[in-house]
A and B are shown apart, each in its own frame.
Chain A
Amino acid sequence: MTKRLFMKGNEALAMAAIEAGCRYYFGYPITPQSDIPEYMSRELPKLGGEFIQAESEVASINMLLGASATGVRAMTSSSSPGISLKQEGISYMAGAELPGVIVNICRSGPGLGGIDASQADYFQAVKGGGHGGYHIIVLAPASVQEMYDLTMLAFDLADIYRMPAMILGDSVVGQMKEPVVPNKRPERNLPPKDWVVRGKGDGEQRVVKSLYLGDGELEAHNWKLHARYGELKAKEARWEEFMLDDAELVVTAFGSAARIAKSAVMAARDKGLKVGLLRPITLYPFPEKGFRAATDRCKKVLDIELNTGQMVEDVRLSIARDAEVFFYGRPPGAGSLPTPEELLEQITKHYV
């Protein structure tokens, strides 16, 4: 029988990071993700790894930058305000083509906001939250199992594409307990890390940097990064399709909102409404092909988010030209998490 554990999303994520070979963690306490540094502080020393509770979010992302430059697998985690502070380092990592996993167990905002489940950091995550025009890989788990599996994927994708990868969750997927199968690290062909600093030995000097001052250098560097984003889009977009084949209304949502939306879709099916769910798993690269294919056939999309409308912009850019997009969202905060009944009402309203 397959071993199953009953555990919290944040702990599953931390466990998966270790299974993926992560031995270096740098972080700072913030609700609702503190289970992750707590887990790492307990487990990493047993494995000869290093855990540092940094003096700040800024320091922890820069420790990640330094560790990653030596070629090891490393991670940091935080929640929205902390992720804002890390943006400087994320931009430098993107510029210097450094892998590394950054976890954002989002809380609500703007500002100090609150600690409730939120998807208001979508723009910040997928549009390049720091300066300079870049992207990072963004994965959106919707279950504890995905907190586990997508974390291992994040490490692999970061190494393959030499860019930071982010897990974008919230307190729903971070704090709830569900059964999880602790899968083994998948076998994958990873490129050799022939760019890492190690002390030059008898070889050539290696430099990890994002400064390019020579004539034409920076433009060429940016085009190179841009081409990599194109490759990422072509090869790595992932999404889940649920009851889409005969759907006359496509509901779309990611992460925790997708769980509630799925319940509403099932309730709609019980009432005889042909409704399906398209759930982006990668938010960057955005599953444009999935949306295009779905809306080539079905002309109505209802986008549901725990914010006032962010992913919906990417949905509109991805659909067939004659498809129509509706939006239902609630900005995060205490008491604002929509119920399946509430979403069913929206589905019924737009189905006709």
Chain B
Amino acid sequence: MQQVFKKPVSLKDVQTHFCPGCHHGTFHRLVAEAMDEFGVQKRTIGVASVGCSVFLYGYFDIDVVEAPHGRAPAVATGVKRARPDAFVFTYQGDGDLAAIGTSEIIHAANRGEDMTVIFVNNTTYGMTGGQMAPTTLVGQRTSTSPYGRNQGKDGAPIRMAELLAQLEGVAFSARVAVNNPKNLMDAKRQIKKAFRYQAEGKGFSFIEALSSCPTNWGMDPIKANERVGTEMCAYFPLGVFKNAAEF
């Protein structure tokens, strides 16, 4: 009998703490599959951030450094400069990367650090209980925008994949989703491309991964999954915004 599906070697055989219907687990799997395919698990140093993504080391069977909130790209810069032979990636949420860590992500990207950033955008601060994030959609109700995000007061959600694509140092920037099989397959392709950039030493690669957050959105997993494809994709279009080496 031929085995056609298995757990990636780079993932541990454990249950995650993620809520039912959350896409973090799927993205973990895609990242682990890419790691397996490039054969980089043994030389990978992951940089965990603060938020639901903090337990990276509990799920990936790789060496991990935990970074302060928002600082993962700076920590990863230190790691990569000291160990240029290592495969380095950060895994960050939207509050972490697009609010408190805006400075660190923009400058690591602008320096063209040879690393990969996986940015999970679920339009809310998940771990702290669903507060307004820099990516919260206009009108979206959260625990700190109970009347809905007000663009006049709170600004509009930030499109990080497009913003970073403008920087000279960025080699690859794409936005992906896993709300249906087609998008999932494409997400896997783009994550692999992002990894290829680093594997070949071709510069900074960035993946914005749209994720559901059923718990904090107050939706069941199916409704939350639908929202990714409708409301989120309408404001955060999927696609590749920079592909310098045309992989």
Contact = CB atoms under 8 A, between A and B. Distances in A.
Contact of A66 (B43, B47, B61): B47
Contacts of B75: 62-63, 65-66, 69
B177 interface: no
B78 A199 contact: no
Interface in B103-161: 103-104, 106-107, 111
Nearest to A56: B103
Contact of B61 (A64, A205, A209): A205
A211 B66 contact: yes
A205 B78 contact: no
Interface string A181-225: 000000000000000011111100111111100000000000000
Given A67-B78, A197-B63, A55 B107 contact: yes
A70 interface: yes
Contacts of A62: 67-68, 71, 74-75, 78, 104
B79 A197 contact: yes
Contacts of B223: none
Interface stretch (A30-38, A88-96, A269-277): A88-96
A198 B111 CA distance: 23
B66 A70 contact: no
A58 interface: yes
Q: Chain A interface: which size bin? A: 35 or more
A287 to B, nearest CB: 33
Nearest to B88: A66
B86 interface: yes
Contacts of B61: 200, 205
Contacts of A208: 64-66
B215 interface: no
Interface in A85-104: 88-89, 92, 96
B74 A59 contact: yes
Interface in B36-73: 41-45, 47-48, 54, 57, 61-68, 71
A207 B59 CA distance: 12
Contacts of B67: 62, 65-66, 92
A211 B107 CA distance: 26
A74 B82 contact: yes
Contacts of B71: 58-59, 62, 65, 88-89
A198 B44 CA distance: 8
B42 A200 contact: yes
Interface string B82-100: 1101110000000000000
Nearest to A199: B43
Contacts of A198: 45, 63, 83, 86
Q: Which of B43, B45, B78 has the most CB of A within 10 A?
A: B78
A89 B83 contact: no
Contacts of B85: 199
Given A66-B82, A209-B57, A199 B42 contact: yes
Contacts of A200: 41-42, 44, 61-63
Contact of A52 (B41, B47, B81): B81
B76 interface: yes
A50 interface: yes
B227 to A, nearest CB: 30
A68 B67 CA distance: 12
B211 interface: no
The 5 closest A-B pairs by CB, nearest first: A66-B78, A199-B43, A62-B74, A55-B107, A67-B78
Given A62-B67, A62-B104, 10 more contacts: A24-B82, A52-B111, A58-B104, A63-B81, A65-B78, A66-B77, A66-B82, A198-B86, A201-B42, A207-B64
23 contacts: A26-B78, A50-B82, A54-B107, A55-B104, A58-B71, A59-B71, A62-B71, A63-B75, A66-B65, A92-B66, A197-B63, A198-B45, A199-B42, A199-B43, A199-B44, A199-B86, A200-B44, A205-B61, A206-B63, A206-B64, A207-B57, A209-B66, A211-B54
